[in-house]
Amino acid sequence: MNATILLFHRVNTVRDKLWDPMAPELFEKIIRFVSKNYEVLPLQEICLNKKRHTKKALAITFDDGYRDYLDFALPVLKNYNLPSSMFVVAECVDNNLPTWTYIMDYLFFNTKKLALPPFDYGEACAAFAIYKWNNKEEQISYSKKFKQFLKLVDNERRNAIMQHFMESFDDVAAPCNLMMTWDDLRTLKNEPVEIGSHTLTHPPLATIDNQVELEKEIRISGEIIQQQLGYFPTTISYPVGSYNKKVKEVAKQAGYKIGLAVDQKLYNSQKQDLFEVPRIELYNDSFIRNKIKIYGIESALKSLIKK
């Protein structure tokens, strides 16, 4: 049985030039569409029960733990009486700071500095050893490309580079109050919302070679959720969809039952691994494009083109 698992991040009225949240009107239109055309179920029911349903099954998931889920997404979901899942980064909740991917965008977009002190980015990042830009557009273009590349870089090296950016762009205040708190998450106790892990610090997990560090990111994040909310989560969502065989094994050993990837395709519960469950990521695009993604048409076309 094929099922559709959607991935959202932010829903907000405030526009963002670097990473635009989905407009609430578009989100409501998508939710109205899926409520009419799918049987929207809890993620765990789709992945673990594997029973057939009268309509096509669909689950709604969110990554990162942004507070605008409470303000803009949850009221719509409640209006349509639909369940959802939210995957939080433990340290982001603890520190009330967003993920490193958001912080990097935020620093480069808001700094008034067009130069950085020299820094050894390492051999893998040698192409990005640029410390001065002629204008803001050039600087932001650089940061967008470098951020995507950093998702593939060794975790220790990436952390060092991010620390360099934060220390160098000291004219930018930290972007606080964007994330849900543990108290916010506790208010969801009586709602049809699954809270799961999105790791401890949001690293691309496949870039971590150190076994102890990998176990910490996966297991400790679940234990913190257990301490704060009273249960060890059933599901872990891999940041930026990064996983490998080692990541899946550590997640199983930690006690999770489901591991979420991205992969932009439908999920076949009869054939696919529970620790590489694909999701379809939706953005603030047109409703038509998001609809094509939901049907799995976009990913199918891309697969045909690759052949």
Q: SS3 string of 94-140? A: HHCCCCHHHHHHHHHHHCCCCECCCCCCCHHHHHHCCCECCCHHHHH
160: burial class by Cβ within 10 Å (0-12, 13-18, 19+)?
A: middle
Same domain, 43 and 134: no
CA distance 6 to 268: 14
Do 31 and 72 touch, CB atoms closer than 8 A? no
91 and 137, same domain (yes or no) = no
141/229 same-domain check: no
Q: Tell me the pTM.
A: 0.94
Do 281 and 242 fall within a single domain? yes
Which amino acid makes up residue 103?
I
Do 279 and 238 share a structural domain?
A: yes
Strand duo 235-237 + 39-40: pairing: unpaired
Tens-place pLDDT, residues 199-247: 999 999 999 999 999 999 999 999 999 999 999 999 999 999 999 999 9
Domain finish residue from 117, 135, 168: 168
* Pair 306, 273: CB distance under 8 Å: no
> Do 124 and 272 sit in the same domain of this protein?
no
Q: Is 33 left (phi over 0), alpha (psi -120 to 50) or beta?
A: alpha
If asked whether residues 90 and 202 sit together in one domain, one would say: yes
Q: Within 13 A of 151's CA, how many CA atoms are on the CB side?
A: 14
Which residues in the chain land under pLDDT 50? none
The CATH number given to whatever domain includes residue 288 is 3.20.20.370
Do 80 and 209 lie in one domain? The reply is yes
**Which of 87, 102, 97, 96 shows the shortest CA–CA distance to 225?**
87
Do 183 and 163 share a structural domain?
Answer: no
Tell which of 150, 168, 186 closes a domain. Answer: 168
189 and 296 together in one domain = yes
Q: Do residue 93 and residue 10 come from a single domain?
A: yes
Which residue, of 110, 140, 168, is where some domain finishes? 168
Other CB atoms within a 10 A radius of the CB of residue 300 amount to 14
The whole domain housing 299 covers 2-97+176-306
Burial code of 1-27, b = ≥16 C-beta within 10 A, e = fewer?
eebbbbbbbbbbeeeeeebebbbbebb
pLDDT confidence of residue 305: 63
Q: Give the count of domains, the chain.
A: 2
Claim to verify: residue 78 and residue 113 sit in the same structural domain: no
